[in-house]
Structure 1
């Protein structure tokens, strides 16, 4: 088991979304929450495995299935297997969890897909770190063993490693598999996270916010098996949703810092060109700097503007809190101010 310890500052506020009215006497030990969309071939197997593990382990628990608009017999089979079923007709991986997790009655909550890719017969490795004081435990399929045919090559060698690398870079979390869907966390941790994402990016949001809220995050090896039934993942759509979320959630890394660097380099190049041209119009680096400097400056300024736009969009959608930048923008800037600044820049360019 490994702990992720690096932290980023948090400018947002949390929203408690789990029902806090339940008393300790009536609270269950564990809730296993499974989103379900047309999984009639595997849902009963997964529910039975989870219930058997709960009984064998001696925990007071429940299996909660969130039916995400299934058109097959998934709901009926889940009920027959002993699960509590909640309806969420609006499609979305994250939306199913946002509806189901607040209804969970356990002190510890385990989330996992009901396509039989995860081993619900042994969930103790996920619970043990929580009892030791961790807030969130994430499975690592690479460390636990990915069985032949369980994951496409594009997800195994490109998609998941790239997203994991970006999350490690942006948060410092020492995770080897940021996209594993088998996770466990405490009710209190979920209340602090304040999650909003309705799609597959829900998994990335959980990691990012856990680090920003200074939660203790652990990683444990888990096996990963070939799924039963038809896969629901869309490589390009879901991959883009992850990248889009990361760009909105971390504009400083994606836009602002690169924009500042490029703008500075462009300004230095242009200043160098002006100084050199006074003494010798043909001297290097006058001509290269004349072309390179403005390009770097334009790209840098556009990156800074994109960073501001990403921050404002993320703030308006509730992905991040309203920080100092967005508050300053709303108080001080208007359409007229931007038009005036644009006019001044045009005049300055003509003058140069």
Structure 2
């Protein structure tokens, strides 16, 4: 069996977790040869996030230091799968598409796969101001890192575990999303961006648009001009496969 870890950061997402965790198609994945663990990272929630996740059969990882990136650092440390898949606990990402996404990962022979939410079909699921900010940050990210990715802020990725071991991602907050993409592509791993369905957010919005946007902007420049240190070159020649 192949092994898959689905890592989901969660801050006060108890009402959404039954929908999110149950949308991971573990039976269908097993039929395709994937043994799946679901990891919910409780990022210092003040509701019943941890208890609900445990009751649903997920592995609960506690990360008392808040921050989107902090949650992923803790979740990836706990992940045992040879492949890691991610997504938020707010019902926006299509975990039910994991069989197709994993099929693409293996058939296209890529090591890091990210997703593009910024399509016409998904416009109603995102506030206009957030859409504009995503387009702007993604355009700047492409200009700085020249990797062709259309959605630098997407929170759904599927990648080989060794990619995480070979990059140096420092962000503790929302900038983690763009940094892991730019780190993986910059290190030379074979990568791919594919379109996904993006769904309406359920529950409280955690994004702080202006401060998070400014932090992401600063991080792009800091990362672009950072001296190489922790990122190891990929084992294979870089190849960007367009969606």
TM-score of the two chains, using structure 1 as the length reference: 0.61
Match of 1:343 in 2: none
How far apart, CA to CA, are the structure 2 residues paired with 1:117 and 1:212?
A: 28
Q: Does 1:137 align with 2:113?
A: yes
Match of 2:212 in 1: 238
The counterpart of 1:125, out of the listed 100, 106, 129, is: 100
Q: Please list, as runs of the form range in 1=range in 2, the aligned pairs for 1:22-37 lying within 5 A after superposition.
A: 29-37=3-11
* Equivalences, count: 228
**Structure 2 unaligned spans of 5+:** 231-243
Q: Is the 8 A contact 1:38 1:73 kept in 2?
A: yes
Q: Please list, as runs of the form range in 1=range in 2, the aligned pairs for 1:90-101 lying within 5 A after superposition.
A: 90-101=65-76
How far apart, CA to CA, are the structure 2 residues paired with 1:66 and 1:82?
A: 13
Q: Does 1:222 align with 2:130?
A: no
Q: What does the per-residue CA deviation read over 1:244-282, in whole Å, with 9 as the maximum and x for residues that have no partner?
A: 11121224xxxxxxxxxxxxxxxxxxxxxxxxxxxxxxx
How far apart, CA to CA, are the structure 2 residues paired with 1:93 and 1:60?
A: 26
Q: Please list, as runs of the form range in 1=range in 2, the aligned pairs for 1:32-181 lying within 5 A after superposition.
A: 32-52=6-26, 53-55=28-30, 57-131=32-106, 132-143=108-119, 145-146=121-122, 148=124, 150-156=125-131, 158-181=132-155
Q: Which has the higher helix share?
A: 1
How far apart, CA to CA, are the structure 2 residues paired with 1:147 and 1:171?
A: 26
Instruction: Provide closer, same or farther for how the CA distance between residues 212 and 91 of structure 1 changes in structure 2, counting only shifts above 3 A.
Output: same
Return the offset for 1:118: 1.0
Q: Is the 8 A contact 2:69 2:172 kept in 1?
A: yes
Return the offset for 1:144: 7.9
Greater C-alpha radius of gyration: 1
How far apart, CA to CA, are the structure 1 residues paired with 2:70 and 2:25?
A: 24
How far apart, CA to CA, are the structure 2 residues paired with 1:187 and 1:144?
A: 32
CA RMSD in angstroms comes to 1.9
How far apart, CA to CA, are the structure 2 residues paired with 1:146 and 1:90?
A: 32
Corresponding residue SS for 1:98: helix
Corresponding residue SS for 1:63: strand
How far apart, CA to CA, are the structure 1 residues paired with 2:204 and 2:84?
A: 26
**Structure 1 unaligned spans of 5+:** 1-26, 252-313, 323-352
Q: Which has the higher strand share?
A: 2
Instruction: Provide closer, same or farther for how the CA distance between residues 54 and 124 of structure 1 changes in structure 2, counting only shifts above 3 A.
Output: closer
